[in-house]
């Protein structure tokens, strides 16, 4: 094989250590990629693939495929590769090519990964970007997550036979962009399915030992935090240690903004599993995966990105202690009652930049002049907020007022140093404020007044020498010179050094002239370098104040979230619920917070709910399709959830006993991709619920047993309900919607079970949905009427009625065959008609591929 060039050798050495990343290799003004990296990048980024210098065609590296991108526009390219799940290792020239002897030194300055991006192109403003770690060992598990764009870090521990399940829910809650797993966790099938299929998060497998983990945690957060960790479960320690190790390995830069660890215990927050989270559409809709139509969409009226992130995290972590809930709800109530302050606060909060993410970039050293000026603008908005908060004499709002540091000194320091609108680059000068530094001012004077300075020197020399024709000129060969015509040659002073003789004169230089010249020629470089130095001083100083600034940012975020909850409560007519440990759920005129907002023109019919520990513990809800069963059940769950994040709720009044968890089993799932049938998924979910629920849980079970044959389905549904409702077994509060009317007889056999139905009125052939929940089972299912509403052909409807009558009169006996003269509809073509009408109704272009697959599956089943 031909010799490698020295540069290619250097490349291969660096590549060897970064095999799993795409290597961006800095060459002059470009980042170049070689070999398979170049092939990948050219495919993913639509770049042209070339080879180096084909003609010479002798050495190995000259035939290697390559492609490149200009370094100044790299951010967008990196963001695109990260979004596609790649990691990018950035290799820079670490010495100045102009002064380097031989090959320029190069080194990796950072590896950008999905969980560690810092630039705005890759980050979503209202959402944290977590890099997580999970450690699994037999019956112990540990979880840690860090958002390096804000510095926020959490960790927790799980023990016991269900440790793995809790871990799974925690991973789903944080929904990290990237996760570091130990070998055991990496081999866990459920964790793999969740991370790869549902969250599509980037997986890294690493191991770490105890001492190394302790050292990296102590190094990051101080020795003291080690005592937060449980003595009998080392898994969280190893998870966090693994995470920190990975962050340092990839980031290389300063990460001291990651300085507080939130070690939380189980029982502090309500655990929500992935199906509850998705079925209740907390942060995105089930079908479109959009924010619009989710609970967050209704609640989020925050004015800052920091507030948006905090509100989202509240929604993802409802509280469990009445004290914590009341503390938050007290603030919301005060803000609800004080309209003037609430509205002024909303105005004052508007437009505050993302201080948390700006600070991370400042600490990390990647912030530019504009970032720092944006931070100053944010700081300058703090004093009015503090003033507004002084009206609250006590409670958390008063505490926020006290802890909100308005950072005047830092804002002043930035204002004195940087111009109001600095240019994008911090390398080319012109951003330090005039008057801040005498040397900058002097160099700028030279830079801008270069010509003027020469003119005044010319005037001075004329006066000193008395040579009227003396001129200062410039040429490329020896720069500035003084020209004197022959007639004045005798008057030239000794200090003049002759440089050139012309036909009618001589050219000279002087030391003074050359000094001035070098000042002018180098002023530009010197001032840029000096300005950059002054800028990095400022950046370092700000980085030193990171905890102060982050504390203010967090106060702003909390206040913004509270204001958002208050303004939503006011504009949507919510009430403050009484939250206690009574175990009773009592709601008057409750509404579904999202459905009422999605269709503002339609009237939403409010409904009451009563569920006690004994009486009304379980409700069987019947009623025709489309009556509103699912909506009602979700509404109860959402009201409970809202109450437990400290929010007001859509109702006239409510008294809500804290529930430990909310479980849901609703609708079709999309797990066909994982090779499981809908019924199998349904049963797995039900089984998970029955294992994990307690008597303090709220269960929403919607049409259990739908995915199998009638008798199977009904038997399973009855058995599940018996188990849930029976105080000797689970005895949980259960809302159970079913189309099996036969189940309504359980009201008599099981204490605490009550029948409800959602009222409809039949008028002749038509039905009207009343949307009111009333006691008692539904008298009939009105399936045929609903089918008519859906547009089934009249012939089919008529035939269905005949069949129904026959079935009802001689229960069990198969329906009489069709009369010859009747419409030619057999039972099998009935199914076909149903399939056809379903196809007509379906809006194919709004279906996801998975939903389409589900639909196909369902239709096929109908035909069999």
Helix/strand/coil percent split, the chain, to 5: 50, 20, 35
627 lines the binding site for ligand ADP (CB under 6 A): yes
- The residues near 748 (Cβ < 8 Å, ≥ 6 apart) are none
Residue 628: contacted member of Mg ion, ligand ADP, none (CB under 5 to 8 Å, by partner type): ligand ADP
425 versus 625: smaller Cβ distance to Mg ion: 625
368 in Cβ contact with 425 (< 8 Å)? yes
**What span, in angstroms and rounded, lies between the C-alpha atoms of 63 and 59?**
7
Shortest distance, CB of residue 595 to ligand ADP, whole angstroms? 6
Shortest distance, CB of residue 625 to ligand ADP, whole angstroms? 4
Options 85-93, 181-189, 531-539, 625-633: segment touching ligand ADP (CB under 6 A): 625-633
Residue 706: contacted member of Mg ion, ligand ADP, none (CB under 5 to 8 Å, by partner type): none
Options 159-167, 241-249, 361-369, 623-631: segment touching Mg ion (CB under 5 A): 623-631
- Strand partners for 757: 622, 774
Residue 623 annotated in ligand binding: yes
Residue 625 annotated in ligand binding: yes
Residue 630 annotated in ligand binding: yes
**What span, in angstroms and rounded, lies between the C-alpha atoms of 667 and 675?**
18
Tell me phi and psi for residue 740, to 5 degrees. Answer: -85, 95
Burial class (CB in 10 A: 0-12, 13-18, 19+), 82: buried
Please report which helix (H) or strand (E) contains residue 547, including its range. helix 546-572
Shortest distance, CB of residue 282 to ligand ADP, whole angstroms? 18
735 in Cβ contact with 727 (< 8 Å)? no
Name the closest residue to ligand ADP (Cβ): 628
Longest CA pairwise span in the chain (Å): 137
Subset of 153-182 contacting Mg ion (CB under 5 A): none
Residue 757 annotated in ligand binding: no
- The residues near 617 (Cβ < 8 Å, ≥ 6 apart) are 611, 725, 727, 731, 732, 733, 734, 752, 753
Nearest to 254 by CA among 161, 360, 152: 360
Residue 605: contacted member of Mg ion, ligand ADP, none (CB under 5 to 8 Å, by partner type): ligand ADP
Shortest distance, CB of residue 836 to ligand ADP, whole angstroms? 22
40 versus 653: smaller Cβ distance to ligand ADP: 653
Shortest distance, CB of residue 630 to Mg ion, whole angstroms? 3
Residue 84 annotated in ligand binding: no
Nearest to 666 by CA among 694, 638, 695, 696: 638
Number of residues near ligand ADP (by CB under 6 A): 12
- Strand partners for 475: 479
630 lines the binding site for ligand ADP (CB under 6 A): yes
Shortest distance, CB of residue 76 to ligand ADP, whole angstroms? 41
3-state secondary structure 375-441: HHHHHHCHHHHHHHHCCCCCHHHHHHHHHCCCCHHHHHHHHHHECCCCCCCCCCCCCECCCCCHHHH
Phi-psi label, residue 348: left if phi above 0, alpha if psi -120 to 50, beta otherwise: alpha
Residue 134: contacted member of ligand ADP, Mg ion, none (CB under 5 to 8 Å, by partner type): none
626 versus 850: smaller Cβ distance to ligand ADP: 626
**What span, in angstroms and rounded, lies between the C-alpha atoms of 456 and 309?**
60
Site string for ligand ADP, 309-338 (x = CB under 6 A): ------------------------------
Shortest distance, CB of residue 659 to ligand ADP, whole angstroms? 21
538 versus 611: smaller Cβ distance to ligand ADP: 611
357 versus 706: smaller Cβ distance to ligand ADP: 706
Phi-psi label, residue 407: left if phi above 0, alpha if psi -120 to 50, beta otherwise: left
175 versus 678: smaller Cβ distance to Mg ion: 678
335 versus 594: smaller Cβ distance to ligand ADP: 594
Among 8, 218, 595, 850, binds ligand ADP (CB under 6 A): 595
Q: Dihedral of CA 589/592/595/600: which sign?
A: positive
Among 626, 692, 789, 798, binds ligand ADP (CB under 6 A): 626
DSSP state of 820: T
Residue 526: contacted member of Mg ion, ligand ADP, none (CB under 5 to 8 Å, by partner type): none
Among 51, 625, 677, 833, binds ligand ADP (CB under 6 A): 625
- The SS3 call for residue 116 is coil
**What span, in angstroms and rounded, lies between the C-alpha atoms of 653 and 569?**
13
Query: Residue 412 is encoded by which pair of tokens?
Result: 């002043």
Shortest distance, CB of residue 38 to Mg ion, whole angstroms? 53
Options 162-170, 444-452, 513-521, 626-634: segment touching Mg ion (CB under 5 A): 626-634
360 versus 630: smaller Cβ distance to Mg ion: 630
Site string for ligand ADP, 722-761 (x = CB under 6 A): ----------------------------------------
Q: Please work out, in degrees rounded to the nearest 5, the angle formed at the alpha carbon of residue 437 by the alpha carbons of 432 and 438.
A: 130
- The SS3 call for residue 96 is coil
Site string for ligand ADP, 759-798 (x = CB under 6 A): ------------x---------------------------
Shortest distance, CB of residue 587 to ligand ADP, whole angstroms? 13
630 lines the binding site for Mg ion (CB under 5 A): yes
626 versus 692: smaller Cβ distance to ligand ADP: 626
Residue 595: contacted member of ligand ADP, Mg ion, none (CB under 5 to 8 Å, by partner type): ligand ADP
Name the closest residue to Mg ion (Cβ): 630
629 lines the binding site for ligand ADP (CB under 6 A): yes
Residue 627: contacted member of ligand ADP, Mg ion, none (CB under 5 to 8 Å, by partner type): ligand ADP
Shortest distance, CB of residue 598 to ligand ADP, whole angstroms? 8
Shortest distance, CB of residue 619 to ligand ADP, whole angstroms? 14
Residue 241: contacted member of ligand ADP, Mg ion, none (CB under 5 to 8 Å, by partner type): none
Options 30-38, 264-272, 629-637, 843-851: segment touching Mg ion (CB under 5 A): 629-637
Options 109-117, 557-565, 624-632, 721-729: segment touching Mg ion (CB under 5 A): 624-632
41 in Cβ contact with 87 (< 8 Å)? no
Shortest distance, CB of residue 706 to Mg ion, whole angstroms? 10
249 in Cβ contact with 257 (< 8 Å)? no
**Distances in whole angstroms, Cα of residue 535 to Cα of each of 253, 407, 545, 632, 676:** 18, 19, 16, 59, 58
Among 77, 229, 263, 604, binds ligand ADP (CB under 6 A): 604
- Strand partners for 588: 653
Q: What is the DSSP string of 174-218?
A: H--SEEEE-HHHHH-HHHHIIIIIIS--EEEE----HHHHHHHHH
**What span, in angstroms and rounded, lies between the C-alpha atoms of 788 and 839?**
16
605 lines the binding site for ligand ADP (CB under 6 A): yes
260 versus 625: smaller Cβ distance to ligand ADP: 625
550 versus 630: smaller Cβ distance to Mg ion: 630
DSSP state of 60: G
Residues 444-472, buried b or exposed e (16+ Cβ, 10 A)? bebbeebeebbeebbeebbeebebeebeb
Phi-psi label, residue 474: left if phi above 0, alpha if psi -120 to 50, beta otherwise: beta
Residue 629 annotated in ligand binding: yes
Residues in binding site: 623-630
- Which residues carry a binding-site annotation for ATP? 623-630
Which residues are near ligand ADP by CB under 6 A? 595, 604-605, 623, 625-631, 771
Contact residues for Mg ion, defined by CB under 5 A: 630
């Amino acid at each position: 094989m031909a010799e490698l060039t020295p540069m290619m050798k250097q490349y291969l050495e660096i590549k060897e250590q970064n095999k799993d990343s795409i290597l961006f290799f800095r060459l002059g003004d470009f980042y170049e990629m070689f070999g398979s990296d170049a092939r990948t990048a050219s495919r993913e980024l639509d770049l042209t693939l070339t080879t180096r210098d084909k003609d010479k065609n002798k050495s190995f590296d000259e035939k290697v495929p390559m492609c490149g991108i200009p370094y100044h526009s790299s951010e967008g390219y990196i963001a695109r590769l990260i979004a596609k799940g790649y990691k990018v290792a950035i290799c820079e020239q670490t010495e100045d090519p102009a002064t380097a002897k031989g090959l320029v030194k190069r080194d990796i300055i950072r590896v950008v990964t999905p969980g560690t991006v810092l630039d705005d192109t890759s980050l979503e403003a209202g959402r944290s970007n977590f890099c997580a770690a999970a450690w699994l060992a037999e019956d112990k598990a540990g979880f840690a997550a860090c958002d390096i764009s804000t510095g926020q870090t959490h960790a927790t521990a799980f023990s016991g036979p269900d440790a793995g399940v809790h871990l799974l829910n925690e991973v789903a809650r944080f929904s990290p962009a990237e996760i570091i797993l130990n070998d055991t966790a990496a081999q866990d099938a459920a964790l793999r399915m969740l991370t790869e299929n549902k969250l599509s998060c980037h997986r890294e497998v690493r191991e770490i030992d105890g001492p190394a983990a302790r050292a990296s945690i102590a190094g990051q957060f101080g020795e003291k935090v080690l005592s937060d960790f449980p003595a009998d479960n080392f898994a969280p320690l190893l998870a966090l240690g693994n995470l920190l190790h990975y962050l340092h390995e990839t980031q290389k830069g300063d990460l001291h903004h990651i300085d507080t660890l939130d070690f939380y215990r189980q029982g502090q927050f309500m655990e929500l599993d992935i199906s509850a989270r998705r079925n209740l559409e907390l942060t995105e809709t089930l079908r479109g995966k959009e924010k619009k139509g989710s609970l967050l969409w209704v609640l989020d009226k925050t004015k800052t990105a920091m507030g948006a992130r905090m509100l989202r995290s509240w929604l993802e972590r409802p509280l469990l202690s009445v004290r914590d809930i009341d503390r938050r709800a007290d603030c919301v109530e005060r803000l609800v009652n004080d309209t003037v302050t609430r509205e002024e606060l909303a105005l004052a909060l508007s437009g505050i930049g993302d201080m948390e993410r700006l600070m991370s970039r400042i600490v990390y050293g990647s912030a530019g002049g504009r970032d720092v000026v944006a931070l100053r603008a944010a700081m300058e908005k703090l004093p009015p907020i503090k003033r507004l908060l002084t009206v609250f004499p006590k409670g958390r709002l008063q505490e926020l007022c006290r802890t909100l540091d308005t950072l005047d000194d830092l804002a002043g320091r930035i204002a004195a140093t940087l111009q109001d609108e600095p240019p994008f680059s911090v390398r080319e000068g012109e951003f330090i404020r005039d008057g801040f530094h005498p040397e900058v001012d002097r160099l700028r004077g030279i830079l801008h007044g270069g010509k003027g300075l020469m003119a005044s020197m010319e005037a001075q020399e004329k006066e000193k020498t008395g040579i009227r024709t003396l001129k200062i000129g410039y040429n490329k060969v020896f720069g500035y010179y003084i020209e004197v015509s022959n007639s004045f040659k005798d008057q030239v002073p000794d200090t003049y050094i002759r440089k050139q003789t012309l036909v009618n004169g001589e050219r000279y230089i002087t030391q003074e002239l050359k000094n001035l010249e070098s000042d002018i020629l180098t002023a530009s470089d010197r001032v840029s370098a000096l300005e950059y130095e002054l800028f990095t001083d400022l950046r370092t100083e700000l980085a030193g104040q990171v905890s102060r600034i982050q504390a203010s940012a967090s106060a702003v975020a909390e206040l913004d979230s509270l204001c958002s909850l208050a303004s939503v409560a006011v504009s949507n007519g919510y009430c403050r619920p009484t939250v206690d440990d009574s175990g009773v759920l009592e709601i008057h005129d409750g509404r579904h917070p999202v459905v009422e907002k999605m269709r503002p023109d339609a009237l939403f019919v409010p409904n009451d709910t009563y569920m006690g520990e004994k009486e009304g513990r379980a409700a069987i809800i019947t009623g025709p399709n489309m009556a509103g069963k699912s909506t009602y059940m979700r509404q109860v769950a959402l009201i409970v959830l809202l109450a437990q994040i400290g929010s007001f709720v859509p109702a006239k009044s409510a008294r809500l006993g804290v529930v430990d968890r909310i479980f849901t089993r609703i609708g079709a799932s999309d797990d066909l991709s994982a090779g499981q049938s809908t019924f199998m998924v349904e049963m797995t979910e039900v089984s998970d619920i029955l294992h994990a629920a307690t008597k303090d849980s709220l269960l929403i079970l919607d049409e259990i047993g739908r995915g199998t044959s009638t008798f199977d389905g009904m038997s399973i549904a009855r058995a599940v309900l018996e188990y849930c409702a029976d105080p000797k077994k689970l005895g949980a509060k259960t809302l159970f919607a079913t189309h099996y009317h036969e189940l309504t007889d359980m009201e008599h056999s099981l204490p605490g079970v009550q029948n409800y139905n959602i009222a409809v009125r039949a008028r002749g052939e038509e039905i009207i949905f009343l949307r009111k929940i009333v006691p008692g089972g539904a008298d009939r299912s009105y399936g045929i009427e609903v089918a008519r509403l859906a547009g089934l052909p009249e012939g089919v409807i008529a035939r269905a009625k005949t069949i129904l009558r026959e079935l009802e009169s001689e229960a069990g006996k198969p329906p009489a065959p069709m009369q010859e003269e009747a419409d030619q509809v057999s039972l099998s073509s009935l199914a076909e008609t149903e399939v056809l009408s379903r196809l007509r109704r379906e809006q194919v272009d709004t279906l996801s591929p998975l939903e389409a697959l589900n639909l196909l599956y369902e239709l096929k089943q109908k035909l069999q």
